[in-house]
């Protein structure tokens, strides 16, 4: 029926899996350089005696990982969750609570953190995903607040005073009491997480989730049980974030329900949007920018929260596609 | 001969005070192209939405192959062989044309709970998708992002996606809406090619197309079927002429 032959190049473009590092060559260099710096700078700082930067970077990496997991549902699935920090808290407590009872094995902590987070995601997601739009945002937040108050009420584990983790998770192959080792473990987890998201969003499953973001009614008409696919994505993201929380808990050595307050969820959302939703490395970029700016502003003034909030809102409103989008456009025109 | 594929029995749906579907009963024979015509707001889209499962009727029944599917969810109806196209173009705007169709093919190619291998390199998705694009005349646009296509091309894509689920029964809601003369003619050609092979329920305002294509026509006015019959009978029908055809 068509006269013109299919344009081979255009189809090849489609049938080549999208590269992990993006299309443009310069963009790839920037991404690699960014990730290398994120690994090397803290180590250099540590070797030269600046432990603060190693600690700061470990926190950045853990929260980047959490942001990457949120991006899987928010950026690729259109599920605007305002309760993602709940998984950070659950993950952290799945280290703290067993440790409190004398169970210190990481082989218990990390699977438990992911498992319980996945379960929480399954149960709450099953309800949340029955709703749309603003209702979804509100109900994810409500469930996270429920988790917050649940841990607040656990007097045994410190309630709102929090819980100290005296010894980090014991892994018999590596010793994460060592700060550098913990940093490297967190970095490896982040890198693995980004790669996993890359594979997932380009898989059949990922195409379905992205289709639901784009046009759910059409997906249903095509025969997809969209609810089941979206719920599965929600559970995967929850489990990933649980792992991020377990790492963060290990790093902080002190955990409290504050880790899962709604403001924390808001911060995660900001990181994702600031960095660029629906991009692979954007959330990392967003987390780095967010935490660095927060650190700098708080050093200048005690009233940093207000200017910071204004800065964030302006950047979200005016930088289309977040920082990744900004860099992308810079490369195109520059 | 009553080889009925789809039977609609006393279907009712009202929005507030508006009876959008008012005791509608229609039978569509296997292999038939059954057109539904009627003025704006007659309830054609509302009817299609109830047949596809997007909208639950207040009362009445929808039977497919004698099986009651009234409360079967949309996605399962697709696996019973039903597919719909939307009056308001409903494609994945941020995806390439071939990705749009591949996603439609994928839905009927086993489970999509596959998390690791890239979907876009899969020949078993790409090849059928290309075949369908060829059929609707979009093969040369395979790599284009849907949002960059013209309205008419998106209408073709809309049909391609419905076809990619290999339906036996197609619900088409104004496939020619907003198309130019040439594009409409091409669409009529495509639908002629599908006739007989697929059972089709076609909603369309373009009367030339309807009378050229339809085996039978039902006329819907204010949610009621006021007449059903062969094109010639409908043309002669006094009530239809008064209510609808007389207009133009
Ligand atoms: N979701 C809704 N809520 C309230 N009223 C609705 C809804 N959907 C349709 N209606 C009303 O139902 C009636 C039938 O609408 P419908 O869209 O089915 O008409 P149609 O025959 O498809 O018209 P058109 O030819 O303009 O596409 C109209 O009066 C419309 O206003
Ligand atoms: Mg309509």
A63-72 pLDDT tens trace: 999 999 999 9
In CATH, what number is assigned to the domain containing residue A23? 1.10.3470
- Across chain B, the runs of DSSP E, i.e. the strands, are 4-15, 18-29, 33-37, 59-64, 67-68, 82-85, 169-173, 199-203, 216-221, 224-229
Ligand 1, from B41, B84, B224: best to mutate by most atoms within 8 Å of Cβ? B41
Is the per-residue pLDDT at A7 higher than 60?
no
Kindly state the average pLDDT of the residues A167-186.
94
Give me the pLDDT at residue A309, please: 83
Domain of A15 in residue numbering reads as 9-333
DSSP 8-state symbol, B147? G
Selected residue with higher pLDDT from A15 and A210 = A210
Cβ contact, residue pair A10, B142, below 8 Å? yes
pLDDT for B155-210, tens place per residue? 999 999 999 999 999 999 999 998 989 999 999 999 999 998 999 999 999 999 99
Structure tokens at B47: 């009817």
pLDDT for B101-160, tens place per residue? 999 999 999 999 999 999 988 999 999 999 999 999 999 999 999 999 999 999 999 999
Give me the pLDDT at residue A312, please: 81
* Residue A295 resides in a domain: yes
Q: How far is the CA of B41 from the centre of ligand 2 (A)?
A: 7
**Cross-strand partners of B63:** B7, B68
Closest Cβ opposite residue A14 in set B86, B120, B138 = B120
* Residue A35 resides in a domain: yes
pLDDT for A243-256, tens place per residue? 999 999 999 999 99
* Residue A112 resides in a domain: yes
ipTM: 0.94
Q: What is the mean pLDDT of chain B?
A: 94
Structure tokens at B160: 């391609």
* Residue A103 resides in a domain: yes
Kindly state the average pLDDT of the residues A149-168.
94
Is the per-residue pLDDT at B222 higher than 80?
yes
> Helices A226-252 and A179-202 sit at what angle, rounded to 10 degrees?
170
Report chain A residues whose CB lies below 8 A from the CB of B140. Answer: 2, 4-7
Q: pLDDT band at A79, cuts 50/70/90? A: very high
pLDDT for A13-64, tens place per residue? 566 667 788 778 888 899 999 999 999 999 999 999 999 999 999 999 999 9
Secondary structure (3-state) at B3: coil
Any ligand 1 atom below 6 A from CB of B45: yes
* Residue A21 resides in a domain: yes
Burial label, A29 (beta-carbon count in 10 A; 0-12, 13-18, 19+): exposed
Q: Rounded distance, CA A288 to CA A271, Å?
A: 8
* Residue A229 resides in a domain: yes
Structure tokens at B229: 């019959």
Report chain B residues whose CB lies below 8 A from the CB of A18. Answer: 120
Q: pLDDT band at A2, cuts 50/70/90? A: very low
Q: What is the mean pLDDT of chain A?
A: 92
* Residue A30 resides in a domain: yes
- The CATH T-level fold of domain B1-87+167-248 is Rossmann fold (3.40.50)
* Residue A1 resides in a domain: no
Give me the pLDDT at residue A16, please: 67
Please state, in angstroms and as integers, the Cα–Cα distance from residue B50 to each residue in A19, A153, B46, B193, B224, following that order.
42, 49, 6, 27, 15
Q: Rounded distance, CA A48 to CA B155, Å?
A: 64
Q: Rounded distance, CA A139 to CA A216, Å?
A: 20
Q: Whole-structure pTM over 0.90, yes or no?
A: yes
Cβ contact, residue pair A217, B83, below 8 Å? no
Q: Rounded distance, CA B204 to CA A118, Å?
A: 48
Q: How far is the CA of B15 from the centre of ligand 1 (A)?
A: 9
User: How many domains are there within chain A?
Assistant: 1
Concatenate the DSSP letters of all residues of A225-258 into one string. -HHHHHHHHHHHHHHHHHHHHHHHHHHHSEE-GG
Residue ranges per domain, chain B?
A: 1-87+167-248, 89-164
Q: How many other C-beta atoms are found inside a 10 Å radius of the C-beta of residue A144? A: 27
């Amino acid at each position: 029926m068509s006269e013109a032959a299919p344009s081979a190049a255009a189809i090849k473009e489609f049938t080549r899996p999208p590269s992990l590092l993006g299309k443009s060559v310069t963009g790839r260099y920037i991404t690699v350089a960014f990730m290398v710096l994120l690994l090397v700078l803290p180590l250099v700082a540590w070797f030269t005696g600046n432990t603060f930067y190693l600690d700061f970077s470990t926190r950045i990496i853990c929260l980047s990982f959490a942001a990457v997991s949120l991006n899987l549902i928010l950026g690729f699935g259109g599920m605007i969750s305002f309760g993602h920090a709940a998984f950070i808290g659950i993950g952290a407590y799945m280290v703290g609570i067993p440790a409190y009872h004398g169970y210190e094995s990481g082989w218990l902590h990390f699977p438990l953190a992911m498992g319980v987070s996945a379960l929480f995601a399954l149960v709450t997601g099953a309800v949340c995903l029955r709703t749309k739009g603003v209702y979804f945002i509100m109900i994810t937040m409500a469930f996270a607040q429920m988790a917050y108050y649940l841990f607040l009420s656990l007097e045994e584990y410190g309630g709102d005073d929090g819980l100290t983790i005296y010894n980090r998770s014991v892994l018999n192959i590596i010793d994460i009491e060592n700060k550098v080792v913990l940093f490297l473990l967190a970095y490896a987890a982040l890198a693995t997480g980004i790669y996993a998201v890359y594979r997932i969003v380009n898989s059949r499953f990922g195409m379905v989730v992205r289709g639901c973001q784009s046009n759910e009614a059409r997906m249903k008409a095509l025969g997809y049980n969209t609810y089941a696919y979206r719920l599965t994505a929600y559970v995967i993201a929850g489990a990933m974030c649980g792992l991020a929380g377990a790492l963060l808990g290990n790093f902080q050595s002190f955990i409290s329900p504050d880790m899962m307050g709604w403001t924390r969820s808001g911060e995660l959302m900001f990181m994702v949007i600031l960095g660029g939703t629906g991009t692979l490395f954007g959330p990392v970029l967003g987390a780095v920018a967010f935490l660095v700016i927060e650190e700098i502003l708080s050093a200048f003034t005690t009233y940093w929260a207000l200017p910071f909030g204004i800065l964030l809102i302006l950047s979200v409103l005016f930088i289309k596609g977040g920082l990744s989008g900004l860099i992308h456009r810079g490369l195109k025109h520059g | 001969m009553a080889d009925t594929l789809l039977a609609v029995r006393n279907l009712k749906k009202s929005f507030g005070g508006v009876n959008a579907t008012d005791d509608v009963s229609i039978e569509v024979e296997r292999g038939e192209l059954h057109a539904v015509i009627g003025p704006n707001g007659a309830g054609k889209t509302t009817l299609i939405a109830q047949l596809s499962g997007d909208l639950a009727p207040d009362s009445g029944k929808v039977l497919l192959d004698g099986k009651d599917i009234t409360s079967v969810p949309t996605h399962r109806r697709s696996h019973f062989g039903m597919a719909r196209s939307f009056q308001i173009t409903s494609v994945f705007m941020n995806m390439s044309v071939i990705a749009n169709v591949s996603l439609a093919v994928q839905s009927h190619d086993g489970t999509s709970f596959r998390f690791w291998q890239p979907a876009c390199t899969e020949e078993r998705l790409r090849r059928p998708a290309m075949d369908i694009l060829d059929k609707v005349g979009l093969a040369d646009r395979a790599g284009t992002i849907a949002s960059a296509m013209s309205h008419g091309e998106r209408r073709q894509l809309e049909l391609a996606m419905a076809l990619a689920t290999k339906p036996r029964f197609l619900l088409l809601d104004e496939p020619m809406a907003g198309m130019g003369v040439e594009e409409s003619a091409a669409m009529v050609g495509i639908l002629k090619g599908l006739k007989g092979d697929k059972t089709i329920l076609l909603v369309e305002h373009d009367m030339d197309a309807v009378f050229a294509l339809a085996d039978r026509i039902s006329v819907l006015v204010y949610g009621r079927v006021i007449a059903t019959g062969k094109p010639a009978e409908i043309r002669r029908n006094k009530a239809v002429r008064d209510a609808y055809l007389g207009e133009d």
